[in-house]
Structure 1
Amino acid sequence: MGQLARVRHDLRVETERLTLRPVGPSDVDALRELHADPEVMRYLDPAPVENYLGESFHAAFEKASGRFAGWFEFKGTGEVELGYRLHRACWGLGYATEGGKALIERGFTVGGVRRVVATTMFVNAGSRRVMEKCGLRHVRTFHVDFPEPLPGSEYGEVEYALTKEEWQRAQGEPHVADRLG
């Protein structure tokens, strides 16, 4: 059984084209390869790969090929942070939106999540589009003094968010207060 025995299968998420499961030690080499691509890391500060192990990070695999596509973050309890990082070969295929929406749905329906937030650099238009397609809306633009700022950081960071009530309305489900009359 070894290391894989620690992966909690109840945290597995299936979408039409992806399988997401908690990142485990067997994924370290795939993570290192992903993080070695300068275009993937263009708007991101590197962190040790070991920081991505555990239940808050999900390795994403294409169902059709079994290929490692990247990872998704869904970290927190009542308020969770959504994040994603995909191989360039997977950009523009809708995987980030598909995986993000699946995690959001699971969080709001069975995970006890009340609010989902996501942040990126203002200049990261691709990531902002994914956030919007997942139903999150722009909340604020803010500036952070980074010790070694990345190009484009002078335009600030953006925060997007979605509450459970907003998500329910978008799904056509009445809000609790609406049901109570």
Structure 2
Amino acid sequence: MHIFLETGRLVLRAFTEADADNLFALNDDPEVMRFINGGKPASTETIREYTLPRLLHDYPGTGTRGYWAAQEKATGAFLGWFEFRPLDEHSRAEVELGYRLRKYAWGRGYATEGSRALIDKGFTELGVKRVIAHTMAVNTGSRRVMEKSGLSFLRSFAGDWPEPIPGSEHGDVDYELTRTAWEQRQ
């Protein structure tokens, strides 16, 4: 098991093919997927043919993957995943931060803990210059994690929703944190 980083309560590790069932359970929860696709259930075919290959992809610019399986350190339980993916796969300058956690992990600080650790690693070890994150404007839980992780509101915009879902009419938001701003807070 390739461990990317550890925090006090989390292990972020590389995904493997064996994670398909965990990903299906995560993406099959309507509440987890509410702000992604309106809560539509996942299919095992989608997990195996689209989701898992995306999570297994290596990015030459950073020499790492862009998605990490999150496990609870004490129990080994699969909690979900974190994204720390370069916007340009051949550059480490800008990365996108994201997370998707099982419902039982919500409200326990895992998203903030993992996000902060990834940001710190990005700025200290990976040569990242800017971290961005985005979500639906109505996703107050995710927005709060971004803020607690040190990101600042950048802009609101009308997202491109080929199939609108409840809340999409309110648009999307972007947050950011630059290395300079992060250094000033240290």
Give the TM-score normalised by structure 1: 0.86
Alignment partner of 2:56 out of 49, 53, 60:
53
Matches within 5 A, 1:10-159: 12-45=4-37, 48-50=50-52, 51-54=54-57, 55-76=65-86, 77-159=92-174
- CA distance in 2 between partners of 1:98 and 1:150 (Å): 29
- Determine the C-alpha separation between the residues in 2 that align with 1:130 and 1:152: 19
C-alpha separation in 2, matches of 1:141 and 1:119: 10
Q: Is the 8 A contact 1:81 1:118 kept in 2?
A: yes
* 3-state SS in 2 of match to 1:44: helix
Unaligned runs of 5+ in 1: 172-181
In structure 2, distance between residues paired with 1:41 and 1:72: 15
CA distance in 2, matches of 1:145, 1:168: 34
Return 5+ residue gaps in structure 2 as ranges. Answer: 58-64, 87-91
Q: Match of 1:151, SS?
A: coil
Identity %: 53
Name 1:174's counterpart in structure 2. none
CA RMSD of aligned residues (A): 1.3
TM-score, length-scaled by structure 2: 0.84
Say which SS state the counterpart of residue 82 (structure 1) adopts. Answer: strand
